[in-house]
Amino acid sequence: MNKKERLTLNKKGWDTIADDWFGSTSLPTYAPLMATETDLKLFGDLKAKKVLDIGCGSGHSLKYMADQGAAELWGIDISSSQIKNAKSYLGENNLTANLFESPMEVNPGIPENYFDIVYSIYAFGWTVDLDTSINLVSKYLKPGGIFIMSWDHPLTGCIKSENGKILIDRSYHHLDTIYMNKADEVMTFTKYKMSSYVNAFSNHGMYIEKLIEDVSQDVLLGDFDDYDKYYSKWKARQVPLSMIIKARKHR
């Protein structure tokens, strides 16, 4: 299946399930079972900042940005249903944003060398072309601007739990295409390696300032009975399930 076909599948899937994911995994939450922006403070002072949300979903992270004082809100999402929900949600909160219905692998008219901050909360891993998407992020940012993303840790797609043990279920080294069913819709993403991200940033004038793999203290200290869940507390105590990357564009 080529990239265009995969994008078509993903758009159709997200158009179908958008309402079910309304407000899901949005700032200050970065990822399942991880510390939040309230604790991490990766963005710093957001007052008067121009921000762009890649995979903006229902607009909840954009509202968070506005609540922290961001001056301009921009967002892009492949799903027309998500963009519709974001416009409605932000409008109900008396906020305006420049929203684009487009895959992240294409620039639909977003200005370059313009943004102080670009971010993507559990969405960037849906890209079917990591190199192109990171290149576009670098172009959107001002020199010295930051990009923050969260997504599944590269190990997550390689493991499964069985009888209280973690098993290697897929080679880490292969950039496999993962297929899944959500609401009877087939959707797909690529299982990248950590080096895929590191090298793509380096190739496009950015460097990784911080990499966070740690789970929250509540997970480490709390009880659990969720051995077989995809994002289980038990698994998260053994290996990282999600990651947060903060990268900066060279000046």
17 has pLDDT over 90? yes
Q: What is the pLDDT of residue 35?
A: 93
| pTM as predicted | 0.94
pLDDT in tens, 50-84: 999 999 999 999 999 999 999 999 999 999 999 99
Confidence class for position 1, pLDDT limits 50, 70, 90: confident
Among residues 232, 167, 156, which one has the least CA distance to residue 193?
156
| Residue 27 structure tokens | 């700032």
What's the start-to-end Cα distance of the chain, in Å? 39
Residue identified by tokens 């399942």 is: 32
Q: What is the pLDDT of residue 111?
A: 98
Handedness of CA 91, 94, 100, 105 (dihedral sign): negative
Q: What is the pLDDT of residue 180?
A: 86
225 has pLDDT over 90? no
* Rounded CA separation 205/142 (Å): 11
> If you average pLDDT over each of 161-170, 179-188, 189-198, which comes out highest?
189-198
Q: What is the pLDDT of residue 222?
A: 67
185 has pLDDT over 90? no
Among residues 100, 79, 86, 84, which one has the least CA distance to residue 12?
79
- Choices 3.40.50.20, 3.40.50.720, 3.40.50.150, 3.40.1390.10: CATH for 3-249: 3.40.50.150
174 against 108, higher pLDDT:
108
227 has pLDDT over 80? no
Do the beta carbons of residue 120 and residue 54 sit within 8 Å? yes
Q: How large is the average pLDDT for residues 79-90? A: 98
* Rounded CA separation 82/223 (Å): 35
Q: In the predicted model, what is the mean pLDDT of the chain?
A: 93
232 has pLDDT over 90? no
119 has pLDDT over 90? yes
Q: How large is the average pLDDT for residues 220-229? A: 72
pLDDT above 70 as % of the chain: 99
181 against 101, higher pLDDT:
101
pLDDT above 90 as % of the chain: 77
* Rounded CA separation 166/157 (Å): 12
Confidence class for position 3, pLDDT limits 50, 70, 90: very high
Secondary structure in 3-state letters for the chain:
CCHHHHHHHHHHHHHHHHHHHCCCCCCCCCCCCECCHHHHCCCCCCCCCEEEEECCCCCHHHHHHHHCCCCEEEEEECCHHHHHHHHHHHHHCCCCCEEEECCCCCCCCCCCCCEEEEEEECCHHHCCCHHHHHHHHHHHEEEEEEEEEEEECCCHHHEEEECCEEEECCCCCCCCEEEEEECCEEEEEECCCHHHHHHHHHHCCEEEEEEECCECHHHHHCCCCCCCCCCCHHHHHHCCCEEEEEEEECC
Q: What is the pLDDT of residue 83?
A: 98
| Burial state string for 168-183 with b = 16 or more CB within 10 A and e = fewer than 16 | eeeeeeeeeeeeeeee
